[in-house]
């Protein structure tokens, strides 16, 4: 891990920097995939699946029988865990639905906003070596609460060509029936343009690797909405001398095992904690199943010692992490000063894993510093708003002079006339 001791603000850009990719080359590769799927549909999706994943597919859509029998392939313990997570996620998201409010801005002028679901949404669920069935819950539940009419799910098949049964079971619990064996940029293209098998959607959700992220950004330029430009996962731990070094190391490693391009950062005001965490990381790393992946990520991760908590908090806000764990004595007070983060975990007993799976908050969050401007997924992400206004005759009379003055100042006489013609008619 890279170490920084009392870094000056001039060196902060290097500390908060994420892994850099050759974006020009990446965009060229992804654009070629998008164009091929746009022109050749299902055939292109199947060819790319064989080329990139080594899997030959006959049918892209998962049958209803496969979905119905998926639960038979899971242990009772896992099914119970998924149901508990589902309940917690549902309770949290349902409680945060936006409620419509009618407002009278002045006598005779009433305005209100109607919240409507996005009719057709696409969910991308990472699969392959780590099928993220938890992401099905994180995306499917708010989509269900929002009332989306058509929910399409794409996920890469395993080496046997099948979808992991936990993904199918979680989808079934959230009412998703349109599930397709498609991963990578080709899945994003299929949902953006539509194919013979995979329906076109209005907005695409879900995390993914650099190819998926790039594909989402490119189709967004063509008018398909996306949730956020989420890239490789990341965690930042802010710790003082009350932190448990073993706990901190486990949090850093839990993020590192996502992928070689994931990033784990420790910012601490305790040199002792910094040194002990480094030792704990090495010790815990040796027993991980995904040791090789985590090792590559940890090699690019960072340990930062700051002289005081004020500077440490400033650095955290500059980094704007996807996940922030505050392992400090005054965690709540410190949390009040956090302005840039996707999701925050307070205290020694709030591991990021809890939020990833079952505490209730959403784990689909902005990465790569986008937490400075983006929020994590919520029910609102799956809705759109239409505003309404209704003016009585008296209401128009009350606001007429304001509108006419402003329209005239902007040189838009037709705007002014649309008010004048009504006022003049009523005064005759």
Q: What is the spatial distance between Cα 336 and Cα 112, in angstroms, rounded to a whole number?
A: 32
Q: What is the spatial distance between Cα 211 and Cα 275, in angstroms, rounded to a whole number?
A: 36
Residue 29: phi and psi, rounded to 5, are -65, -45
| E strand spans, 156-233 | 178-181, 203-205, 225-226
Which segments are annotated as binding site for NAD(+)?
A: 124, 186, 209
Q: What is the spatial distance between Cα 301 and Cα 288, in angstroms, rounded to a whole number?
A: 17
Which segments are annotated as binding site for Zn(2+)?
A: 255, 258, 356, 415
Give the DSSP H/E element, type plus range, for residue 122: strand 120-124
* Inter-axis angle of helices 413-427 and 393-409, nearest 10: 150
Q: Are 136 and 167 in contact (CB under 8 A)?
A: yes
Residue 124: phi and psi, rounded to 5, are -105, 125
Question: Can 363 be counted among the known catalytic residues?
Answer: no
Residue 389: phi and psi, rounded to 5, are -145, 145
The residues, any chain, with a CB within 8 Å of residue 375's CB and separated by 6 or more, are 342, 366
Q: Are 125 and 136 in contact (CB under 8 A)?
A: yes
Which segments are annotated as binding site for substrate?
A: 233, 255, 258, 323, 356, 410, 415
User: Which member of 234, 278, 280, 322 is catalytic?
Assistant: 322
123-141 residues labelled b (16+ CB within 10 A) or e (exposed): bbbbbbeebbbbbbbbbbb
Q: Strand 178-181 vs strand 150-155: parallel, antiparallel, or unpaired?
A: parallel
Tokens of residue 167, six digits = 């993904």
Other beta carbons less than 10 A from residue 189's beta carbon: 29
CA angle 86, 88, 92 (to 5 degrees): 115
SS3 249: helix
Which of 176, 184, 179 has its CA nearest to residue 213?
184
Which of 62, 52, 35 has its CA nearest to residue 198?
62
Question: Can 93 be counted among the known catalytic residues?
Answer: no
| E strand spans, 203-355 | 203-205, 225-226, 234-239, 263-268, 302-305, 323-327, 343-346
User: Which member of 93, 164, 323, 363 is catalytic?
Assistant: 323
Residue 405: phi and psi, rounded to 5, are -60, -45
Which segments are annotated as binding site?
A: 124, 186, 209, 233, 255, 258, 323, 356, 410, 415
**Residues labelled as active-site residues:** 322-323
């Amino acid at each position: 891990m890279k170490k920084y001791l009392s870094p000056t603000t001039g060196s902060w850009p290097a500390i908060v920097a994420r892994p850099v990719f050759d974006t020009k080359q990446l965009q060229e590769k992804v654009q070629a995939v998008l164009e091929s799927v746009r022109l050749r549909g299902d055939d292109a999706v199947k060819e790319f699946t064989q080329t990139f994943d080594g899997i030959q597919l006959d049918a892209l859509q998962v049958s209803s029988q496969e979905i119905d029998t998926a639960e038979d392939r899971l242990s009772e313990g896992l099914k119970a865990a998924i149901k508990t997570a589902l309940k917690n996620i549902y309770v949290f998201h349902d409680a945060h639905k936006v409620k419509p409010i009618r407002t009278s801005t002045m006598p005779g002028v009433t305005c209100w906003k109607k919240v409507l679901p996005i009719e057709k949404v696409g969910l991308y669920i990472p699969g392959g070596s780590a099928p993220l069935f938890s992401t099905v819950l994180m995306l499917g539940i708010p989509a269900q609460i929002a009332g989306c009419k058509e929910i399409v799910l794409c996920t890469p098949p395993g080496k046997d060509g099948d979808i992991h049964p936990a993904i199918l079971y979680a989808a079934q619990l959230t009412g998703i029936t349109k599930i397709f064996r498609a991963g990578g940029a080709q899945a994003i293209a299929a949902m953006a343009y539509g194919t013979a098998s995979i329906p076109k959607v209005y907005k695409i959700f879900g995390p993914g690797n650099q190819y998926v992220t790039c594909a989402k950004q490119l189709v967004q330029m063509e008018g398909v909405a996306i949730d956020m430009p989420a890239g490789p996962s990341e965690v930042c731990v802010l710790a003082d001398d009350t932190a448990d070094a073993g706990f901190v190391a486990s949090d850093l490693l839990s993020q590192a095992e996502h992928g070689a391009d994931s990033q784990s950062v420790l910012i601490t005001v305790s040199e002792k904690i910094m040194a002990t965490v480094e030792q704990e990381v090495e010790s815990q790393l040796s027993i991980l199943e995904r040791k090789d992946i985590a090792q590559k990520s940890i090699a690019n991760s960072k340990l930062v010692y700051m002289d005081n908590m004020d500077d440490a908090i400033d650095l955290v806000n500059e980094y704007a992490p996807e996940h922030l764990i505050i392992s400090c004595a005054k965690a709540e007070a410190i949390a009040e000063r956090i302005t840039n983060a996707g999701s925050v975990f307070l205290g020694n007993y709030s591991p990021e894993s809890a939020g990833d799976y079952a505490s209730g908050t959403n784990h689909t969050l902005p990465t790569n510093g986008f937490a400075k401007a983006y929020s994590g997924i919520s029910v609102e992400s799956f809705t759109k708003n239409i505003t309404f206004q209704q003016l009585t005759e008296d209401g128009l009379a009350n606001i007429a002079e304001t509108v006419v003055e402003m329209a005239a100042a902007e040189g838009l006489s037709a705007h002014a006339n649309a008010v004048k013609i009504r006022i003049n008619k009523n005064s005759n």
